[in-house]
């Protein structure tokens, strides 16, 4: 049995972004219940040189939409990175899910050998589609989703492993 590039990307991103949205909803409810300014959670970091929660969510969504677009051979949409509230981050996630779902399997399937050039700061990194998906996009995506989860768990939001994994 083979697994397609589409099945290995878009449904994975959509599932985890839905899980991330539910985690953020729990965080917003936690802040309200505990009378915590939501900005405190949105700007929390694990260490001073790491990105805050809001940026972790932005990067996770950027990775998902960017990967889907690059594998499909289209230019990814740009977001302004101005979200400063839970509702704004949830809207960004919803927009990313809608975009990912707009990419059809036939646009991505067969992209294993498609050249992918990723511009990072002042350099370009060259991949094949499969190497980009497996060695860069998915690990980067999971890193930022897990870090968002960890930030909230560390700050007392009642989350468990099932929140991260979601329901089967």
CB 155, CB 37: distance < 8 Å: no
pLDDT digits (tens, 9 = 90+) for 1-58: 688 999 999 999 999 999 999 999 999 999 999 999 999 999 999 999 999 999 999 9
Alpha carbon of residue 22 to chain centroid: 13
Q: What is the distance in angstroms between the CA of the first residue and the CA of the last residue of the chain? A: 21
Per DSSP, helices labelled H in the chain are 10-33, 38-42, 53-72, 86-102, 105-108, 129-132, 138-154, 161-165
pLDDT digits (tens, 9 = 90+) for 59-75: 999 999 999 999 999 99
Mean pLDDT of the chain: 96
CATH of domain 10-165: 1.20.120.450
Rounded CA separation 73/71 (Å): 5
* pTM of the full structure: 0.96
State residue 120's pLDDT score.
Answer: 85
* Residue ranges per structural domain of the chain: 10-165
């Amino acid at each position: 049995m083979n697994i397609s590039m589409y099945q290995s990307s878009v449904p994975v991103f959509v599932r985890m972004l839905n899980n991330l949205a539910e985690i953020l909803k729990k965080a917003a409810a936690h802040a309200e219940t505990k009378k915590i300014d939501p900005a405190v959670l949105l700007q929390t970091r694990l260490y001073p040189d790491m990105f805050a929660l809001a940026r972790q969510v932005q990067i996770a969504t950027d990775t998902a939409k960017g990967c889907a677009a690059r594998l499909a051979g289209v230019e990814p949409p740009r977001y302004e990175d101005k979200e400063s509230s839970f509702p704004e981050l949830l809207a960004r996630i919803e927009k990313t899910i809608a975009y990912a779902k707009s990419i059809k399997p036939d646009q991505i399937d067969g992209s294993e050998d498609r050249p992918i050039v990723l511009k990072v700061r002042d350099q370009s990194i060259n991949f094949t589609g499969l190497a980009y998906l497996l060695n860069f996009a998915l690990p980067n995506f999971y890193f930022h989703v897990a870090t968002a989860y960890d930030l909230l768990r560390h700050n007392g939001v009642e989350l468990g492993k099932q929140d991260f994994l979601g329901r089967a």
